[in-house]
Amino acid sequence: MIRTENLTKVYRMGEVEVQALRDVNLEIQDGEFIAIAGPSGSGKSTLLNMMGCLDKPTSGAIFIDDIDTGMLSENKLAEIRREKIGFIFQQFNLIHTLNALENVALPMFFAGVGRETRLKRAEELLAKVGLEDRVDHKPSELSGGEQQRMAIARALSNDPEIIIGDEPTGNVDTEAGNVIMDILEGLNREGRTIIVVTHDAEIAARAGRTKRMRDGKVLD
């Protein structure tokens, strides 16, 4: 379960202070598929970064499975990202020097999984997202949709409970976007919590619940 308590984030851009999040209170249950929608600058990516343990709040708190992540060291946060969370980015963010198999195996390497095991599992995960015949391909040799599927396989690498997608379909065509959503729905059916940021109403409609954000606040 993810729970925020008066979560507030303030960025300093030189002289200017930007209130990215203002007193956000939100609860996401295990196994939920939630979409967070809103215009750009509404703070949804900031919220996602907080829930993904990439960033710490300025004030307030965010709990992941009742752990106050604001109190954790950088190393502990890295561990949570590694074990509990799978990230999917709009820009895919694959390592372009590595092929599909190696990209997918990378989080397992950071987790200290043995080479044999991680390569075998990476292969299985690529098959799961329909990329079994792209194992040796570099990201640049694949289409946007395929790259995003590779990124999903990578997100699944350490079998996380939570998948976080920041506009996961934002950079692919509608058809590929639907495939990605199908995969995410499948993962949700496996019991994983899926949190997706989007400003695409159609995508948001496929989630179990949608929260709207504006000016750093969660509406409703």
Residue 194 half-sphere exposure, CB side, CA atoms within 13 Å?
A: 29
SS3 76: helix
Minimum distance from residue 91 beta carbon to other proteins (Å) = 9
Q: Contact between 154 and other proteins (CB under 8 A)?
A: yes
Q: Contact between 110 and other proteins (CB under 8 A)?
A: yes
130 Cβ neighbours under 8 A, 6+ residues apart: 149, 179
Q: Contact between 158 and other proteins (CB under 8 A)?
A: yes
Q: Contact between 98 and other proteins (CB under 8 A)?
A: yes
Minimum distance from residue 80 beta carbon to other proteins (Å) = 9
Q: Contact between 107 and other proteins (CB under 8 A)?
A: yes
Q: Long-range contacts of range 53-58, CB-CB < 8 Å, 24 or more positions apart? A: 53/77, 53/80, 53/81, 53/85, 54/81, 55/9, 57/7, 57/8, 57/9, 57/21, 58/8, 58/9, 58/10
Residue from 44, 81, 149, 211 in contact with other proteins (CB under 8 A): 81
Q: How many residues bind other proteins (CB under 8 A)?
A: 32
- The span from the CA of 166 to the CA of 153, in Å, is 15
**Binding track over 25-64 against other proteins, x by CB under 8 A:** ------------------------x--x-xx---------
Name the residue nearer to other proteins (CB basis): 139 or 145. 139
Strand partners, 85: 162
Q: Contact at 8 Å (CB) between 211 and 26?
A: yes
Residue from 68, 115, 136, 159 in contact with other proteins (CB under 8 A): 115
Residue from 78, 130, 200, 217 in contact with other proteins (CB under 8 A): 78
Token pair of 108 as six digits: 């397992």
- The span from the CA of 53 to the CA of 33, in Å, is 19
Binding site for other proteins (CB under 8 A): 49, 52, 54-55, 74-75, 78-79, 81-83, 86-87, 89, 93-95, 97-98, 102, 105-107, 109-111, 115, 119, 154-155, 157-158
